[in-house]
Amino acid sequence: MIGHMVRLAESRGVPTELAPLAVSIFSLVNALGRPPAGWISDRLGKFGRPITMVSFFTVQGILFYVLAALHILPAELFFLVSALLGLVYGSALVLYPVATGDFFGIKYLSENYSYVFTGWGIGGLLFPSAGGYIADLTGGYDLALILSGTFSIAGALMCLYLKKRLALYLQ
């Protein structure tokens, strides 16, 4: 997302001289949202974390759909959506290691989380290029945003499944 933020902002009507500000807003809120997300995660515990992740992924999916549907946005609204995307993305990222420990236990947390983080890295290498390719192929970001929203919602549904599995595991 962040690699395409400027071009996406421009495609949604944000003036060229303001479009890079979306990257800064996304990054700042991404970083600032992580400590509160960790605090919330610690308060909710093992059973609350999957619901928190469901919430973050669902909001992220909805925001992608909003960006796909709205072709012209005032810069302020685009910056708000950018901030919200940064918040839910950064907040969810904090939950991954803890959720890995909850699900697989802490004995092999380092090894198990290395697989999760490797998957995240591979996704970070492949999907920005795929999104750019789709945007180039279709002449815009709509399809890439719809697919991103769909994958986010699918992630939310997987978290619901994991919550049920975790409950069975802990019995």
CATH number at residue 66: 1.20.1250.20
**Domain count for the chain:** 1
The owner of tokens 């890439």 is 144
**Whether residue 171 has pLDDT greater than 60:** no
pLDDT (tens digit per residue) in 29-80: 999 999 998 898 889 887 778 888 899 999 999 999 999 998 888 999 999 9
Enter the pTM of the model: 0.88
Domain residues for 51?
2-170
**Cα(51)–Cα(70) distance, integer angstroms:** 28
What average pLDDT does range 120-127 have in this prediction? Answer: 92
**Whether residue 2 has pLDDT greater than 90:** no
Q: Mention every residue, 6+ apart, whose C-beta is less than 8 A from residue 62.
A: 149
